[in-house]
A and B are shown apart, each in its own frame.
Chain A
Amino acid sequence: MDKISFNIALLSYLVASLGYFVYLVYRRPFVSTMAGCMVGMGLVFQTISIGIRSSLTGHGPYTTSYEVAMFLAWFMVVIYVLTEWKYKIKDLGAFVIPLVFFVMLISIFLSKDAGLVPEAEVRFWLTLHRTLSIIGYAAFSIAFAAGIMYLIQEHQVKTKKLGIMYFRMPSLEVLDNLNCKVITIGFPLFTLGFMTGSIWNTKVDQAFFSWDLVKTMPMVMVWVIYGLVFFGRMVTGLRGKKAAQGVILGFIAVIGSYFLHI
């Protein structure tokens, strides 16, 4: 049952991605409405899928890499829906929903075994660590999409070649603001996730950092990149193109560290 729901959600996101692309290029309002409905449907079925799986395994979706990927995709959609509702940037869907689709697609190839349920205290820190980190990552994915859009728009205004995307995409200020907002929310949560992860590690290995270089260093890199964007904006007025490039680089590091993690 959870697999059927998963497949329906996956298919919904695929159709929604195509719909958003068509809307981006051909601007047919009913296509964007249709894509919005497909996202809603995908979210409902994904929630059902996660719910069923959690009730079967007896714990939340945070123990195995498959569950984490599912949970991440779910949060990405939730944050996307909230952003779209607040900022009314329909074209953002053309960048975020395909990402969601790929995260879910990758999760198919990950182990579906139910993870081990740790004892209560460890479990508390694990839940907290994974949930906070995942919200952080989901926020980063929105920042990534906004960053890509910013670079496309900035390039057009700067080079004075105003193509179709110039008219379709929002202003530089809106995209930069969106980047700023999601990083302001995402980075502190990610940091907390990082810290609670260390506490969880202490509980498991009796060591604050296990210092597995391969696993830990990429995470530190991710933290440093987003930290530079976060504090750079506050202190030195870092913004615009550099901020967009920063969050794109950060997200590439996230993807890299994810593959090293599994």
Chain B
Amino acid sequence: MTSEANLILVGVNHKTTPVEIREKLAFSQVKLEASLEQLVSSPEIIENIILSTCNRVEIYARVENTDQGIQLLQNFICDYHGISRGNLDQYFYSYCDNQAVEHLFRVSSSLDSMVLGEAQILGQVKEAYNTALSFSSTGMVLNQLFEKAFNVAKKVREETGIAERGVSISSAAVELAKKIFEDLENHSVMLVGTGEMAELAAKHLISYGVKTVYVASRTYERAASLAQSLNGCALDFESFKEEMHRADIIITSTAAPNFIIGKEMIETAVQKRKNKPIFLIDIAVPRDIAPEVNELENVYLYDIDDLQNVVNANMEERQKEAENAMEIIKQEVTKFNNWFSTLDAVPTIVEMRNRAEDMRKVEVDKTLKTMDHLSSEDKDAIQQLTQSLVNKILHKPTINLKKKTQSQDGHIYLKAIRDLFHLDD
């Protein structure tokens, strides 16, 4: 990126800064509006956007001078929150131009998040952008940059598996349920025991469309109260075994010291279900379901360790996918550079054409002064001829310059044109 972009980013995040500092530096929505106004009124700052979430506080800006801009933004953050700058220097990071662009793309694609690939950050970046937009603190470059960042995030989500693997026990369980049953809407879940984790998993399943919920517990009152909160139906602990065939997903979390569900029990249930699959999730420790149950056809049993293994493997996979995502981001940074470079070619082209036009005018005027015998039509014809001559000569260089400035070494061509035409004199 040519230095004229003068894009900078100053910030702190969960990797560099402990929460007790971050919370002091956060901009609340009310503060945000006032801050944007204050920054925009500074003559050093052309455009700015403030991104403030619980894991990061970052200011993106386009400034007149990058070094001064970085100092100014760091001072601004400290002054605004009334904290001495000296204590904070170790926490701040700052990036310019390409690095700032790459950082934003990484942030919006959730590569810089605490939980890699989480979906929330993109919404937060969008919100920050919209707030800045409504206070007119952004201009052409930041608008383009942020719109691009949203596209990059979308592309990363679609083309890599960064977000497709659940990284919590309950999301891994929901994912498995969806790989067995596809659409959870017409399926039912039975909770045996009312453990907290089981409740959480059930809520997760309900949020994915599960409508029928059965709850069984040794204490009927607990079953009844949980069933009520989940909009389900409570079962007597003795009768859940007879009702098991009604449930597609069974989550167990009792405090029983031994297995309470054995192979034969599930075999009977599967027969009653005419071989429709059952997904068993055993969250209890010690376990509630005998592991041999998994040997039955159309039965899938996962205990807490199995789920934890899935989560760990998913984490690792997300890490691998992050590498693919970085490739996409690198390509997109280059594309953004290309866009910015074309922006740069325009003033040079205008100056080059003005210079040529000035020369033409001087020379034509000089000649016409010595040719008084010409009629005004003839003089006009000469004017037109020279104009079109200049246009013809400059047409190809203009087109080529626009093209060349999109390539990596575009700035060399710009510099050459400026030197050859003495544009900077």
CB atoms of A237 and B297 under 8 A apart: no
Nearest B residue (CB) for A243: B275
CA distance in complex: A245, B369 (Å): 98
Q: Is A242 in contact with chain B by the CB < 8 A criterion?
A: yes
A-contact bits for B259-278, CB 8 A (1 contact / 0 none): 00000000000000011110
CB atoms of B165 and A167 under 8 A apart: yes
CB atoms of B310 and A157 under 8 A apart: no
Smallest CB separation, A163 vs chain B (Å): 9
Contact of B181 among A166, A171, A240, A241 (CB under 8 A): A171
Contact of A157 among B164, B180, B297 (CB under 8 A): B180
Q: Please indicate the chain A residues that have their CB under 8 angstroms from the CB of B161 in the complex.
A: 27, 167
CB atoms of B159 and A239 under 8 A apart: no
Contact of B179 among A28, A29, A153, A236 (CB under 8 A): A153
CB atoms of A160 and B310 under 8 A apart: yes
CB atoms of B182 and A239 under 8 A apart: no
CA distance in complex: A238, B297 (Å): 11
Contacts A171-B179, A237-B275, A239-B276: A157 and B298 contacting too (C-beta < 8 A)? no
Q: Is B309 in contact with chain A by the CB < 8 A criterion?
A: yes
Q: Please indicate the chain B residues that have their CB under 8 angstroms from the CB of A241 in the complex.
A: 297-298
Q: Is A253 in contact with chain B by the CB < 8 A criterion?
A: no
Contact of A171 among B182, B298, B310 (CB under 8 A): B182
Contacts A172-B277, A240-B277: A157 and B179 contacting too (C-beta < 8 A)? yes
Q: Is B302 in contact with chain A by the CB < 8 A criterion?
A: yes
CA distance in complex: A208, B183 (Å): 48
CA distance in complex: A210, B158 (Å): 58
CB atoms of B298 and A240 under 8 A apart: yes
CB atoms of A29 and B180 under 8 A apart: no
Nearest A residue (CB) for B324: A26
Contact of A158 among B159, B181, B182, B294 (CB under 8 A): B294
Q: Is A162 in contact with chain B by the CB < 8 A criterion?
A: yes
CB atoms of A167 and B164 under 8 A apart: yes
CA distance in complex: A157, B180 (Å): 8
Q: Is B300 in contact with chain A by the CB < 8 A criterion?
A: yes
Q: Please indicate the chain B residues that have their CB under 8 angstroms from the CB of A160 in the complex.
A: 302, 306, 309-310
Residues of B268-320 whose CB lies within 8 A of A: 274-277, 294, 297-298, 300, 302, 306, 309-310, 313
Residues of A152-168 whose CB lies within 8 A of B: 153, 157-158, 160, 162, 166-167
Nearest A residue (CB) for B314: A162
Residues of B30-66 whose CB lies within 8 A of A: none
Contacts A237-B275, A239-B298: A172 and B306 contacting too (C-beta < 8 A)? no
Q: Please indicate the chain A residues that have their CB under 8 angstroms from the CB of B276 in the complex.
A: 237, 239
CB atoms of B294 and A162 under 8 A apart: no
CB atoms of B294 and A29 under 8 A apart: no
Nearest B residue (CB) for A168: B161
CA distance in complex: A158, B297 (Å): 9
Among A167, A170, A173, chain B packs the most CB atoms within 10 A around the CB of A173
Q: Please indicate the chain A residues that have their CB under 8 angstroms from the CB of B164 in the complex.
A: 167
CA distance in complex: A162, B172 (Å): 11
Nearest B residue (CB) for A28: B159
Contacts A160-B306, A239-B276: A170 and B297 contacting too (C-beta < 8 A)? no
Q: Please indicate the chain B residues that have their CB under 8 angstroms from the CB of A171 in the complex.
A: 178-182
Nearest B residue (CB) for A167: B164
A-contact bits for B153-167, CB 8 A (1 contact / 0 none): 000001111001100
Q: Is B390 in contact with chain A by the CB < 8 A criterion?
A: no
Q: Is A4 in contact with chain B by the CB < 8 A criterion?
A: no
CA distance in complex: A100, B288 (Å): 49
A-contact bits for B168-194, CB 8 A (1 contact / 0 none): 000000001011111100000000000
CB atoms of A242 and B297 under 8 A apart: yes
Nearest A residue (CB) for B179: A171
Smallest CB separation, A141 vs chain B (Å): 23
Contacts A160-B310, A162-B310, A162-B313: A238 and B275 contacting too (C-beta < 8 A)? yes
Q: Is A220 in contact with chain B by the CB < 8 A criterion?
A: no
Q: Please indicate the chain B residues that have their CB under 8 angstroms from the CB of A242 in the complex.
A: 297
CB atoms of A240 and B310 under 8 A apart: no
Among A160, A171, A172, A236, chain B packs the most CB atoms within 10 A around the CB of A160
CB atoms of A173 and B306 under 8 A apart: no
CA distance in complex: A72, B160 (Å): 37
B-contact bits for A130-166, CB 8 A (1 contact / 0 none): 0000000000000000000000010001101010001
Q: Please indicate the chain B residues that have their CB under 8 angstroms from the CB of A238 in the complex.
A: 275
Q: Is A217 in contact with chain B by the CB < 8 A criterion?
A: no
Residues of A170-208 whose CB lies within 8 A of B: 170-174
Interface residues, chain A, CB within 8 Å of chain B? Answer: 27-29, 153, 157-158, 160, 162, 166-167, 170-174, 236-242
